[in-house]
Amino acid sequence: MEGERERLNKKNIPQRERNKQLNIRLNEDEIKVMQKNIKKSKLSQSEYIRKCILEKNIIVIDEIKELMVELKRVGNNLNQITRMMNRGEIKDSKELTEVKNNLENIWNKVIEALKKVND
């Protein structure tokens, strides 16, 4: 309505107002499972519950952080080898073969992690 101020978030995007509260009862085991799942999802409790209620899939891949670190390491190695090749410091492809093998290894780990999600 005209004259009413719209609530905005930090990026000046209109924000829905959530002024209703939900109170539920759970047993100890249910609380533990919910807290474990919330922690794995890296969402706030409210965000997690809203996603569950709205029937959105919440997918958590435990190994993803480790795989990202490995991918960054291999990417750095690849960049260094590329620079060395451009400067003429590398004559054989031994280093490139090693990087290729590392990438194949990581790719296989990604496939295995995705299979766990689909199970």
- Domain boundaries defined on the chain: 23-60, 64-118
Reported pTM: 0.42
Q: How many CA atoms lie within 13 A of 95 on its CB side?
A: 16
Q: What is the mean pLDDT of the chain?
A: 79
d(CA 89, CA 73): 21
Judge contact between 100 and 74, C-beta under 8 A.
no
Residues 16-73 have pLDDT tens digits of 677 888 899 999 999 999 999 899 888 999 988 888 888 767 677 777 778 888 888 8
pLDDT for the residue numbered 1: 42
Does 13 score more than 70 pLDDT?
Answer: no
Q: Which amino acid is at 8?
A: L
- The string over 98-110, giving b where at least 16 C-beta atoms fall within 10 Å of a residue's C-beta and e elsewhere, is ebeebbeebeebe
What confidence tier does 119 reach under pLDDT thresholds 50, 70, 90? low
Q: Is the dihedral of CA 45, 59, 72, 70 positive or negative?
A: positive
